[in-house]
Amino acid sequence: VIKCKAAVAWGAGKPLSIEEVEVAPPKAHEVRIKIVATAVCHTDAYTLSGADPEGCFPVILGHEGAGIVESVGEGVTKVKKGDTVIPLYIPQCGECKFCKNPKTNLCQKIRITQGKGVMPDGTSRFTCKGKPIYHFMGTSTFSEYTVVADISVAKIDAAAPLDKVCLLGCGISTGYGAAVNTAKVEPGSTCAVFGLGGVGLAVIMGCKIAGASRIIGIDINKDKYAKAKEFGATECISPQDSKKPIQEVLVEMTDGGVDYSFECIGNVGVMRAALEACHKGWGVSVIVGVAASGQEIATRPFQLVTGRTWKGTAFGGWKSVDNVPKLVTEYMSKKIKVDEFVTHTLPFDKINEAFELMHSGK
């Protein structure tokens, strides 16, 4: 058993608390990882807020991490002690019907136990003050050591800087894949990206790499425009600058609508606007943002009858074990940006400050 520091969420709406936790050794088909770096994501904040129906407490959050394998359980063959890895919140077992189908990346092998905050055998590897602590998204990267299923880990280039590539565990991969895998953006196309946070910037990067000729960034926070243009946005607009609905503004700006639109916020009203901003006959709108539990999307069916397509994406459609190492290689060869997404680097005990910076849009 390893004793280490972890940021524990004792209950909904409370700040994270840095505690000493015990991390049990990995059981069969499990891997114990020394986490070197982790990022914070709105998904962690969503669960912490209490709005997540799958949220359970006390829990160790975090799902964008990178580290070194400390030990492996019985039957683990894909990684060994000392390997550099990224934990995966969408695993890839290679055996379920989802993994065998090229149309999806949604491995279901451990979905039920992962959603309940436990390892595949139904128990936790974390204890604190004598109490079991739940796992989160099968990763729990807000701990100096974590235990994950062996299908939830990708071995990556040992030379990669872990304080950067941890972002490929969720946000960058999600946005980039939404453009290149889910939408399949084509050269010369016109794109609109709603929400210019980390995921939105990654979508812009993907659209640019795919050869889009016009990329319109949409956000009410104008402080984000300069960064969006660095990533490839050709122009940025705010919905608050016009009396007309944003979809009407975009349809006028683009002679009938955009070829591809992306919703990177998790707001069902914006999802509707993103669909309706698409061009009749061929426009495709991809939902990337995660809306709060129980919310529903709406539009007039005629929007779809007249040739628009509404799609969703999770982790950018990447089959995780196969593709995360390739994304690291693309970063190392400068095909994709990663360093530019990092705004602040803080010590672990300042994790609550990191959440404040995220909520303030900084």
Is residue 163 very low, low, confident or very high in pLDDT (cuts 50, 70, 90)? very high
Q: Does residue 200 sit in the same domain as residue 288?
A: yes
pLDDT over 90 at 362, yes or no? no
Is residue 333 very low, low, confident or very high in pLDDT (cuts 50, 70, 90)? very high
- The pLDDT > 90 percentage for the chain reads 96
Q: Is pLDDT larger for residue 54 or for residue 197? A: 197
Q: Does residue 260 sit in the same domain as residue 307?
A: yes
Is residue 289 very low, low, confident or very high in pLDDT (cuts 50, 70, 90)? very high
Is residue 307 very low, low, confident or very high in pLDDT (cuts 50, 70, 90)? very high
Q: Are 88 and 62 contacting, i.e. CB atoms less than 8 angstroms apart?
A: no
pLDDT over 90 at 350, yes or no? yes
Q: What local confidence, expressed as pLDDT, does residue 51 receive? A: 86
Q: What local confidence, expressed as pLDDT, does residue 120 receive? A: 98
Q: Does residue 130 sit in the same domain as residue 203?
A: no
Residue 170 corresponds to which amino acid?
C
Q: Does residue 6 sit in the same domain as residue 107?
A: yes
Average pLDDT over residues 105-124: 97
CA distances from 275 to 219, 243, 251 (A): 16, 19, 11
Is residue 179 very low, low, confident or very high in pLDDT (cuts 50, 70, 90)? very high
Q: Does residue 248 sit in the same domain as residue 351?
A: no
pLDDT over 90 at 54, yes or no? no
The residue from 274, 293, 313 where one domain ends is: 313
How high does pLDDT run on average in the chain? 97
3 forms beta bridges with 22
Q: Are 8 and 47 contacting, i.e. CB atoms less than 8 angstroms apart?
A: no
Q: What local confidence, expressed as pLDDT, does residue 104 receive? A: 98
Q: Does residue 185 sit in the same domain as residue 278?
A: yes
Show the domain range for 96: 2-169+319-360
pTM of structure: 0.96
Look at residues 163, 151, 157, 164 and name the one whose alpha carbon lies nearest to residue 95. Answer: 151
Q: Does residue 132 sit in the same domain as residue 35?
A: yes
Token pair for 196? 């210019």
Q: Does residue 6 sit in the same domain as residue 149?
A: yes
Q: Are 16 and 62 contacting, i.e. CB atoms less than 8 angstroms apart?
A: no
CA distance 71 to 161: 21
Is residue 162 very low, low, confident or very high in pLDDT (cuts 50, 70, 90)? very high
Least confident residue range of 42-46, 91-95, 115-119, 331-335? 42-46
Token pair for 93? 């077992």
Q: What local confidence, expressed as pLDDT, does residue 97 receive? A: 98
Angle, in degrees to the nearest 10, between helices 42-49 and 351-359: 100
Q: What is the 3-state secondary structure (H, E, C) of the chain?
A: CEEEEEEEECCCCCCCEEEEEEECCCCCCEEEEEEEEEECCHHHHHHHHCCCCCCCCCEECCCEEEEEEEEECCCCCCCCCCCEEEECCCCCCCCCCCCCCCCCCCCCCCHHHHHCCCCCCCCCCEEECCEEEECCCCCCCCECEEEEEHHHEEECCCCCCHHHHHHHHCHHHHHHHHHHHHHCCCCCCEEEEECCCHHHHHHHHHHHHCCCCEEEEECCCHHHHHHHHHHCCCEEECHHHCCCCHHHHHHHHCCCCECEEEECCCCHHHHHHHHHCECCCCCEEEECCCCCCCCCCCCCHHHHHCCCEEEECCHHHCCHHHHHHHHHHHHHCCCCCCHHHCCCCCCHHHHHHHHHHHHCCC
CA distance 174 to 315: 4
Q: Does residue 247 sit in the same domain as residue 129?
A: no
- CATH at residue 191: 3.40.50.720
Query: In this predicted model, what pLDDT tens digit does every residue of 215-232 receive, in sequence order?
Result: 999 999 999 999 999 999
CA distance 79 to 145: 16
Q: What local confidence, expressed as pLDDT, does residue 53 receive? A: 84
What contacts 85, CB < 8 A, 6 or more positions away?
31, 33, 66, 67, 68, 69, 79, 153, 154, 155, 156
Q: Does residue 8 sit in the same domain as residue 115?
A: yes
- CATH at residue 148: 3.90.180.10
Average pLDDT over residues 107-126: 97
Q: Does residue 192 sit in the same domain as residue 327?
A: no
Q: Does residue 15 sit in the same domain as residue 128?
A: yes
What contacts 360, CB < 8 A, 6 or more positions away?
none
- Domains: count for the chain: 2
Q: What local confidence, expressed as pLDDT, does residue 36 receive? A: 98
pLDDT over 90 at 142, yes or no? yes
Q: What local confidence, expressed as pLDDT, does residue 52 receive? A: 86
